[in-house]
Chain A
Amino acid sequence: MSVQFLSGNEAVAHGVRLSRPRVVAAYPITPQTVVVERLAEMVEDGDLAAEFVHVESEHSALALVMGSAAMGVRTFTATSSQGLLYMAECLYYTAGGRWPIVMMNANRALALPWNIYGDQSDSLALISSGWIQSYAETAQEALDLVIQSYAIAEDLRVRTPVLVNLDGFVLTHTYEPVDVPEQEQVDAFLPSPDFPVGYPGTFNQENPQSLAITAGPGDYTVFKFKQHQDMVAAAGPIREVDERFIQHFGRGVAGLTEGYQLDDAELVIVTLGSIAGTVRTVVDELRTEGVKAGLLRLRYLRPFPTAEVLAGLFGPQRSAKVAAIGILEKDISFGHQGTVSLEVKAALYEAATQGALPPAINFVAGLGGQEIGLADIRRFFTALAEAAQGQQKPLVQFLGMEHAQ
């Protein structure tokens, strides 16, 4: 293992190199480009024995690696924003076909207005596409998630593609020291990049297969039900992979969520991605001031970790006294609230039978690269404290638009 000073994008490229995909196809879009530039260099330098295919669109990028996955090999592609939406059809398609593709998405705002900076509205728009979705907090976690994603996606119980999300620029372009494992370590962790003969959803030379088939109204439901069941159950293999990763590499997080100072927390911010680091800093500050603040970070949004979220907020025995919950996300589902807020609140309903639920405020912040500072997060916690004391608060608050709300 060697420590290198890498950006999030470069960390992803190293994670991919170490995972030895046989085919990489990608179309450039800011802020994803560095990933594919590094991979192209790695292929040209002979550090990665993959076919690097220059495609003419994101739609073709994902369709192409689907064809390669059907041939029974490990694949990779990466995209962002408009590109992710352009390939949207292929996301549902590859998930329905159960190909274990891994894709990196640089979370970026969607036009209009045009904006190349980070927010999470791209991947959240496709939360129902059937892909497992993870969100990295750091470059280190991004590298680790790539390796873990192949282990998860290719698990016969899962056979579901994985989208690894990194906040555009804030994470993709920020440098930090990253432990880069040795190739032998990763080889010992992952199965062969050539799937075994007979792996479901792959062509077979002895016993030809028809793939990506048509199913009528009765059979269609059966396929979709199995897809849903396996996605729900994927939480198990995800935890197993996390634990195996920690044992194997000596670092990492076990679970689909990560809690910080939750044991006695009264004011909790639930969030995802790189902003969790800033929230953690504010939690530390508030703790020195006697405020019982906490953080619950969602590492995975699909499968949605309902039980983990409830255990994180209310304790394993549902005994914790959470007074107010904030859901901080870089997204708005127009006409309602942020997508993550909707997800978290759906999970909270499962806890409603335990008694009255605390107020929950959706903080919509960081849209189109808007900076979220320590002071902003302190204000979010203040709003939560006031809500906990019974003050009426807008349930959806846009950072920077307080005067208009």
Chain B
Amino acid sequence: MSISIKTLPNPEHFVGHKACGGCGGSLIVRWVLKVLGEKTHVVIPAGCMSAVGFIYPQMALGVNAIISPFAATGAVLSGIAAVVRAKGLTDVPVVGFAGDGATADIGLQSLSGALDRREKIIYICYDNEAYMNTGIQKSGATPWGVRTTTSPRGFRPELDAPKKDLLRIAAAHGIPYAATASVGYANDLLKKIEKAGQVDGPSFLHIFAPCPTGWGCEADATVQLGKSVVDTGLWPLLEWESRQLTINRQPKKFAPLEEYLAGQGRYRNITEDEIAALEAVRDRNWRELRAWNIHSSVNPDFG
């Protein structure tokens, strides 16, 4: 029986934490640990999940877990994986949960090293598109137009698509499995976690994780935003496996961007012209994705 939200195991491994209501990141930690199970070893860098889960003496994780230095998620995962290898341990998933800042910015070097060495690790980036733990500052994964405390009028660089493309960065390392997912499409997400757990080598999951506190949205909007970001085409659900790209969900027609942007304070300043420009960038991204998809299907060695 394949994994789904209905067959998700009951045991909880992340309870009693102090995450905000509607936190997408904590939902991902909870689901992932349900899928991977009690033998999982977890690395979480400095950030929201470590701040809410390890406050002495209340430990929220029911599995072996460690906070890593902010920049060192990949390295600490590798150190654990090295001992798993040395001791010939089996069925010990080694999984990291790092935010977008810890992944796309300060931890990119360490992630690259771990992927390059083909460490048997699962690296999960829960992407809430800014430095939330420090108070909503712009990160390398903050999208165009978003208000943060360090881009108070909205982040408007000359680049039309400033958000770092983590899937392509991971795929460029030639790892066996990389995927995007969203908390709004739970079954797709859970299947990808399960698949990542079975990969012999590194896997990378880039997961959309709304942050009501940082985004200025309702605490119960998390799952809905996680759906509409996919339906509007802003967050394609992808898998890169055996050097081949799969687009898991191909909307025939994208939902209007306003459906996603409305109800998020961080997009409050965005204009109609800017929304049109974001749509144009989205459409270009999809043309590129489809070309990548076709190209890698025809000739996987050059995917």
A interface vs B, CB < 8 Å?
22-23, 25, 50-51, 53-57, 59-61, 63-73, 75, 89-90, 93, 194, 203-205, 208-216, 219
Docked Cα-Cα span, A90 to B56, in Å, equals 21
Q: A71-B83, A90-B72 are in contact. Are A56 and B54 (CB under 8 A)?
A: no
Residues of chain B from 77 to 104 with CB closer than 8 A to chain A in the complex: 77-80, 82-87
* Number of residues of chain B lying within 8 A (CB) of chain A: 43
Q: Tell me if B110 and A56 are in contact (CB < 8 A).
A: yes
A-B residue pair count with CB separations less than 8 angstroms? 143
Taking each of B51, B62, B65, B75, which has the highest tally of chain A beta carbons within 10 Å of its own beta carbon? B75
Can you list 8 residue pairs at the A/B interface with Cβ under 8 Å? A25-B79, A51-B82, A56-B110, A57-B110, A90-B72, A208-B38, A210-B64, A212-B68
Closest Cβ of chain B to A140, distance in Å, is 30
B interface vs A, CB < 8 Å?
38-39, 41, 43, 50-51, 53-57, 59-69, 71-72, 74-80, 82-87, 109-110, 112-113, 116-117
Q: A56-B113, A60-B74, A60-B109 are in contact. Are A213 and B83 (CB under 8 A)?
A: no
Q: Tell me if B109 and A208 are in contact (CB < 8 A).
A: no
Taking A51-B83, A71-B83 as known contacts, 7 extra A-B pairs with beta carbons closer than 8 A to each other, sorted by chain A number, are: A22-B86, A59-B72, A63-B69, A64-B75, A64-B82, A67-B77, A70-B76
Q: Tell me if B68 and A63 are in contact (CB < 8 A).
A: yes
Closest Cβ of chain B to A209, distance in Å, is 6
Identify the closest chain B residue to A23 (Cβ): B82
Closest Cβ of chain B to A197, distance in Å, is 13
Identify the closest chain A residue to B67 (Cβ): A212
Residue from A22, A59, A216 in contact with B69 in the complex, judged by beta carbons closer than 8 Å: A59
Q: Tell me if B65 and A208 are in contact (CB < 8 A).
A: yes
Q: Tell me if B83 and A23 are in contact (CB < 8 A).
A: yes
In the bound complex, residues from chain B placing their C-beta under 8 Å from that of A213 are 54-56, 59, 67
Q: Tell me if B83 and A22 are in contact (CB < 8 A).
A: yes
Q: A67-B78, A214-B55 are in contact. Are A51 and B63 (CB under 8 A)?
A: no
In the bound complex, residues from chain B placing their C-beta under 8 Å from that of A208 are 38, 61-65
In the bound complex, residues from chain B placing their C-beta under 8 Å from that of A53 are 78-79, 82, 117
In the bound complex, residues from chain B placing their C-beta under 8 Å from that of A203 are 41, 64, 66
Closest Cβ of chain B to A113, distance in Å, is 26
Docked Cα-Cα span, A147 to B61, in Å, equals 36
Taking each of A56, A57, A65, A219, which has the highest tally of chain B beta carbons within 10 Å of its own beta carbon? A56
Q: Tell me if A67 and B79 are in contact (CB < 8 A).
A: yes
Docked Cα-Cα span, A256 to B85, in Å, equals 38
Residue from A22, A57, A89, A210 in contact with B61 in the complex, judged by beta carbons closer than 8 Å: A210
Residue from B56, B63, B72 in contact with A214 in the complex, judged by beta carbons closer than 8 Å: B56
Closest Cβ of chain A to B64, distance in Å, is 4
Identify the closest chain A residue to B43 (Cβ): A67
In the bound complex, residues from chain A placing their C-beta under 8 Å from that of B79 are 23, 25, 53, 63-71, 75
Q: A59-B69, A204-B64 are in contact. Are A23 and B86 (CB under 8 A)?
A: yes
Docked Cα-Cα span, A159 to B3, in Å, equals 43
Docked Cα-Cα span, A205 to B41, in Å, equals 10
Q: Tell me if B75 and A63 are in contact (CB < 8 A).
A: yes
Taking each of A73, A75, A208, which has the highest tally of chain B beta carbons within 10 Å of its own beta carbon? A208
Q: Tell me if A211 and B69 are in contact (CB < 8 A).
A: no
Q: Tell me if B59 and A210 are in contact (CB < 8 A).
A: yes
Docked Cα-Cα span, A95 to B62, in Å, equals 25
In the bound complex, residues from chain A placing their C-beta under 8 Å from that of B54 are 210, 212-214
Q: Tell me if B113 and A60 are in contact (CB < 8 A).
A: yes
Docked Cα-Cα span, A67 to B44, in Å, equals 12
In the bound complex, residues from chain B placing their C-beta under 8 Å from that of A22 are 82-83, 86
Q: A64-B76, A64-B78 are in contact. Are A59 and B55 (CB under 8 A)?
A: no
Q: Tell me if A55 and B75 are in contact (CB < 8 A).
A: yes
In the bound complex, residues from chain A placing their C-beta under 8 Å from that of B78 are 25, 53, 55, 60, 64, 67
Residue from B66, B71, B86 in contact with A210 in the complex, judged by beta carbons closer than 8 Å: B66
Closest Cβ of chain A to B118, distance in Å, is 12
Docked Cα-Cα span, A208 to B39, in Å, equals 9
Closest Cβ of chain A to B88, distance in Å, is 12
Closest Cβ of chain A to B112, distance in Å, is 7
In the bound complex, residues from chain A placing their C-beta under 8 Å from that of B86 are 22-23, 50-51, 73
